[in-house]
Amino acid sequence: MKANELRKMYVEFFEKRGHKEIGSASLLPENDPTVLFTTAGMHPLVPYLLGEKHPEGKRLVDVQKCIRTGDIDEVGDDTHLTFFEMLGNWSLGDYFKEESITMSYIFLTEYLNIPVERLAVTVFEGDSVVARDNEAAELWMRNGLKKEQIYFYGRSENWWGPAGKTGPCGPDTEIFYDMGKEKCGEDCGPACSCGKYVEIWNNVFMEYNKNEDGTYSELLQKNVDTGMGLERILTVINNFKNVYETDLFQPIINKIEDITDTKYTEENKEIYRIISDHMRAATFILGDFKRIVPSNSEQGYILRRIIRRTIRLVKKLGVNRNIVCDIAEVVVENYGETYSELFTNKAFILEQLEKEYLLFSKTLDSGLKMAEKYFSKLEEGNRLSGDLAFKLYDTFGFPIEFTVELASERKINVDMPAFEQKFKEHQEKSRKGAAEKFKGGLADNSERTTKLHTATHLLNAALRKVLGDSVYQRGSNINSERLRFDFSFDRKMTKEELEQVEKIVNEAIEKGIDVMCTEQTVEQAKSDGAIGVFESKYGEIVKVYTIPGYSKEICGGPHASNTAELKSFKILKEESSSSGVRRIKATIG
């Protein structure tokens, strides 16, 4: 089965069961300071999981683009990916466990024709706070699974949330595919990492709210949030050994073979896989309408890292020219019909890749000079310290294999144990940071952040009034202290312009204007003058938030009910974000 066929089958299956399809949201979360990228289908739906009414109703289905960077150094094996697509279906206070489990079972066994005996599921075993999820286990058996195919695990395996210290949470049931291997021991089960079981779907049942005192109360709106990785399920149903055998990767791998005049072999498969994964991710990040560019911070840093890692590995294949654009064109061609923004932004994608290639070529030369400086102080048989080897990796992007090769040419060793210790510390730090980021999504939906969200609408309108309609929102980030707003503009704003923008926003606040919300078709909204936060696939019906006389935007919310609730508005800083993009940080009273 091909990817397009599976996407279509999945969406149509749930549409026939009352779900409305919603488009994939941007890879860059709107107004969410807790994550760098959209890491799961739940992130764009945060307000609706918390009770806000979705314009498409209570049953939704989507295919969401996702980026996860916590295990970026593991990419190259059979399973880890930076970019992936998540198939998801949602119940926002509608059906619950019985319908969710039954639909999952039917789709897997009747539509994907997975033999029942190859399935295994896990459910929450319960603890002193929340009871064992016998209901989920009984539902699986009622559908056709045997008792021995059901495994009970604790919170580390079968509990989701809360995202912060308090908030929605609940048990989940994870669905696994049995690869047919022998069990590694008596305790072997889906939680085992031996490779016998591969997780293919996860159904989260948000039924509790964790309170500040640590107790749990039942949610008024119980939700179902499911996620199934497209690449992984494609691998399973086609009996492939890894995701790189699917039609999502084969065109990329074939292109790399053609333009490098090398072959994908057991010896170089890791290089091929990393190049394929990283260029797919980089192309999608650059193709996003929020137009993130390579930089030294946040999303731009991740983008720069994966592009530069690709360039290094291309050189390792013996190619000393820019071929990353050639690979990106294959990604655009392969995905463009599904994600039209790649076609629309193709010129921008290729332009940024070319710029980064030229820039990194200079950095690479600088790194070689620094390495030569380190080696010149050592004699044959000496060792390059782990600290210096790691500095070449961290500062100049030199993989340890490259450093070892350079050292061996000079008959110098590298202190590998010391390097590996530094690298391990680096990984742990990165994973902890990623874990903290991934906790988010529902972490901060406080009254203050809601008001700051409304302030971004007023700020956007004021900027367009002062600087012109060419101003376009390129991203925003909100925490409880301030808002951060990125917008297209090619120069530093003057003091007078900043004062004028601030005055317009405060004027709207002082007037105490009611914030109105209507539901319209996208066409109606745009004909009425509404602007989108970013161009993407909207559903048939969208929410339009209007502050009469000032702002009209397509947006998911939530917002303050009246501008007076913001009290006052103050710009803290205006600075460059990246080429052609400015950034304002501001706060409210």
Instruction: Return the CATH number at 549.
Output: 3.30.980.10
Structure tokens belonging to residue 528 = 């009425």
In a domain, 437, yes or no: no
Question: Are residue 451 and residue 426 in the same domain, yes or no?
Answer: no
Q: Among residues 339, 354, 376, which one ends one of the domains?
A: 376
Residues whose CB is less than 8 angstroms from the CB of residue 300 and which lie 6 or more positions away in sequence, other chains included: 292, 293, 294, 578
Least confident of 163-167, 350-354, 479-483: 163-167
Q: Is 77 in the same domain as 193?
A: yes
54 marked ligand binding residue: no
Q: Are residues 107 and 146 in the same domain?
A: yes
Same-domain check for residues 478 and 578: yes
> Cα–chain-centroid distance for residue 276?
18
Q: Is residue 88 part of a domain?
A: yes
Where is pLDDT greater, at 417 or 36? 417
Please check whether residues 367 and 398 belong to one and the same domain. no
Q: For residues 190 and 552, what is the distance between their CA atoms, to the nearest angstrom?
A: 50
> Is residue 438 included in any domain, yes or no?
no
Kindly indicate the confidence band of residue 98, based on its pLDDT and cuts at 50, 70 and 90: very high
Q: Which two tokens stand for residue 239?
A: 């009996």
441 occurs within a structural domain: no
Helix/strand/coil for 54? coil
Same domain for 69 and 196, yes or no, is yes
Has residue 439 been placed in a domain? no
d(C-alpha 431, C-alpha 70), whole Å: 5
Q: Tell me, what's the pLDDT at 133?
A: 95
Confirm whether 440 is domain-assigned. no
Considering the domain architecture, whether residues 282 and 202 belong to the same structural domain is answered as: no
Q: Is 559 annotated as a binding residue?
A: yes
For the record, the structure tokens of 538 come out as: 């909207």
d(CA 379, CA 377): 7
Greater pLDDT, 94 or 479? 94
Residue 214 tokens read as 């640590």
Q: Are residues 161 and 57 in the same domain?
A: yes
Length, in residues, of the chain: 589
The mean per-residue pLDDT over the stretch 291-310 comes to 85
Q: Measured between alpha carbons, how far is 366 from 372 in angstroms, rounded to an integer? A: 10
Residue 555 marked in a binding site: yes
Does a structural domain hold residue 499? yes
Total domain count, the chain: 4
Range in 85-94, 266-275, 535-544, 577-586 with the lowest mean pLDDT? 535-544
Most confident of 38-52, 89-103, 168-182, 367-381: 89-103
Confidence of residue 69 (pLDDT cuts 50, 70, 90): confident
What does pTM read for this prediction?
0.78
Q: What is the pLDDT of residue 275?
A: 96
Instruction: Give the end of a domain, one of 198, 214, 244.
Output: 244
CA dist., res. 62 & res. 92, Å (int): 14
- Residue 74 above 70 pLDDT? yes
Average pLDDT estimate for 251-258: 95
- According to the model, what pLDDT value does residue 534 have? 45
The DSSP element (H or E) to which 502 belongs, if any, is helix 495-511
Q: What is the pLDDT of residues 13-59, one digit of tens each?
A: 999 999 999 999 999 887 566 678 888 888 888 788 878 899 999 99
Q: Which of 352, 376, 400 is the last residue of a domain?
A: 376
If you average pLDDT over residues 217-228, what whole number do you get?
A: 92
- 549-564: per-residue pLDDT in tens? 999 988 877 889 999 9
Is residue 549 left, alpha or beta, with left meaning phi > 0 and alpha meaning psi from -120 to 50? Answer: left
The rounded distance, in Å, linking the Cα atoms of 274 and 252 is 11
Q: Residues 437, 442, 448, 452: what is their CA dihedral angle, to the nearest 10 degrees?
A: 70
| Nearest Cα to Cα of residue 44 among 440, 338, 532 | 440
Taking 60 as the threshold, does the pLDDT of residue 261 lie above it? yes
Checking if the pLDDT of 435 tops 60, the result is no
Residue 457 counted as an annotated binding residue:
yes
280 shares its domain with 426: no
DSSP 145: -
Task: Provide the pLDDT for residue 48.
Answer: 86
Q: Which domain holds residue 517?
A: 447-588
Name the CA dihedral angle for 304, 308, 310, 313, rounded to a multiple of 10 degrees.
-160
The mean pLDDT value for 572-579 works out to 87
- The answer on 457 and 364 residing in a single domain is no
10-17 contact pairs (CB < 8 A, 24+): 10/61, 10/63, 10/87, 10/107, 10/228, 11/61, 11/62, 11/63, 13/103, 13/107, 13/111, 14/59, 14/61, 14/89, 14/103, 15/61, 17/59, 17/103
- 406 plus 336 within the same structural domain: no
* Residues 83, 225 within the same domain: yes
